């Protein structure tokens, strides 16, 4: 099974500047592509990997140096501490949804298939896309579509959904597409639906909240000289990473002490984000929006 093709694989691992005996974290294990390459560069080091999607365990690399933790990466510190780890030499995050998740119709991530409105990364959590679409108020839906989907017709889409659900529950991805059909003209349909599904997925999984918690914990965990390597696919994700690296917070505002020294625990290794080359994009279209930022703990 081709679970997932890792994006910016070599660049993201090179960015970690791996020490053969160091401790590294892959917070988005997925198909194990990044972890496999990290392990190739380790000797007596250790790799801890996180993935809240239970399907990821089917790709477990049999290596005594690898520990796979089936949890959301927002609990990074907690579960590392349970494994006796308080400091690490590098953290890698690939924030994209895996090809496997998109290709499973019953997960509800893709506009290509008719399946249950689910979109949960963690199948055990209560909130799914179905509850969100059928229970959120008009203003809540509109806000999510505008903020996370960057949709210009966010209110119109939200209104169409609220009107549609008064007559029948929206249970499947096809139901959702029918509900908003009048606001998705054929020449723009795929783009609008992709942005809509993205917005719902981000809200269902609290992706930005989880990302903030993970990033702050990663900074604390890193040893001086340790590296943070993050691949993002959405402007909101990339902005959070960029601001944290530049200013030490998510607002992007430099905070200085009484001596005028800025409290910035990280320094950027690459001044501009690294993007996939044309060859990788042709080979893997999902790489198109990827941006890699690498930083080092001061």
Q: Which of these, 78, 284, 60, 101, lies nearest to 204 by C-alpha position?
A: 101
Pairing of strands 291-297, 266-268: antiparallel
Sheet holding 291-297, edge to edge: 66-69, 46-50, 23-26, 88-94, 222-232, 291-297, 266-268
Q: What is the mean pLDDT of residues 250-271?
A: 92
Burial 73-104 (b: 16+ CB within 10 A, else e): bbbbbebbeeeebeebbbbbbbbbbbbbbbbb
pLDDT above 90: residue 217: yes
What is the overall mean pLDDT for the chain? 93
| CA-to-CA separations, 12 to 17, 37, 219, in angstroms, rounded | 9, 10, 17
In this structure, what token pair is assigned to residue 143?
Answer: 């806000």
Element spanning 231, H or E: strand 222-232
In the three-class reduction of DSSP (H, G, I as helix; E, B as strand; rest coil), residue 91 is classed as strand
User: Are 284 and 3 within 8 A, CB to CB?
Assistant: no
**Averaged over 190-196, what is the pLDDT?**
95
- Write the pLDDT tens digit of every residue in 70-123: 999 999 999 999 999 999 999 999 997 765 555 565 676 788 788 999 999 888
pLDDT higher than 80, residue 15: yes
The whole-angstrom separation of Cα 58 and Cα 75 is 22
Confidence band for 1, pLDDT divided at 50, 70 and 90: very low
Task: Locate 248 and state its tokens.
Answer: 């030490």
Distance CA 16, CA 2 (A): 25
Could you say which architecture CATH assigns to the domain 9-99+207-297? 3-Layer(aba) Sandwich (3.40)
Partners of residue 266 on adjacent β-strands: 297
126-204: same fold as 9-99+207-297?
Answer: no
Domain-wise residue ranges, the chain: 9-99+207-297, 126-204
Fold of 126-204: DNA polymerase; domain 1 (1.10.150)
Tens-digit pLDDT profile for residues 16-65: 999 999 999 999 999 999 999 999 999 999 999 999 988 888 889 999 99
DSSP summary character for residue 107:
G
pLDDT at 192: 97
**Residue-level pLDDT at 291:** 97
The more confident residue out of 298 and 1 is 298
User: What is the chain's length?
Assistant: 298
- Name the least confident of 142-156, 160-174, 273-287: 273-287
Find the mean pLDDT for residues 272-298.
94
b/e code 21-33 from CB counts within 10 Å (16+ = b): ebbbbbbbbbbbb
Cβ neighbours around 139 below 10 Å, total: 10
- Asked if residue 153 has pLDDT above 70, the reply is yes
């Amino acid at each position: 099974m081709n679970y997932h093709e890792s994006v910016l694989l070599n660049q993201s691992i090179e960015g970690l500047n791996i020490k053969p005996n160091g401790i590294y974290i892959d917070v988005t294990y997925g198909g194990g592509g990044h972890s496999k390459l990290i392990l190739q560069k380790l000797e007596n080091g250790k790799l801890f990997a996180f993935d809240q999607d239970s399907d990821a365990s089917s790709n477990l690399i049999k290596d005594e140096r690898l520990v796979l933790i089936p949890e959301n990466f927002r609990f990074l510190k907690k579960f590392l501490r349970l494994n006796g780890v308080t400091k690490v030499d590098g953290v890698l995050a690939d924030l994209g949804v895996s090809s496997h998740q998109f290709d499973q119709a019953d997960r509800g991530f893709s506009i290509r298939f008719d399946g249950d409105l689910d979109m949960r990364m963690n199948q055990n959590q209560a909130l799914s896309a179905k509850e969100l679409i059928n229970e959120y108020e008009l203003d809540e839906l509109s806000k999510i579509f505008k903020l996370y989907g960057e949709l210009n017709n966010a209110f119109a889409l939200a209104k169409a959904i609220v009107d549609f659900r008064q007559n029948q529950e929206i249970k499947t991805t096809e139901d959702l597409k029918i509900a908003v059909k009048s606001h998705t003209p054929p020449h723009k349909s795929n783009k609008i639906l992709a942005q809509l599904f993205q917005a719902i997925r981000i809200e269902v999984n609290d992706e930005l909240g989880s990302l903030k918690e993970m990033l702050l914990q990663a900074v604390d965990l890193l040893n001086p000289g340790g590296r943070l390597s993050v691949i993002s696919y959405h402007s909101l994700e990339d902005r959070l990473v960029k601001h944290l690296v530049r200013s030490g917070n998510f607002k992007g505002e430099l905070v200085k002490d009484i001596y005028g020294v800025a409290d910035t625990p990280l320094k950027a290794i690459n001044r501009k984000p690294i993007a996939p080359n044309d060859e990788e994009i042709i080979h893997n279209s999902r790489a198109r929006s990827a941006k890699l930022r690498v930083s080092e703990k001061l």
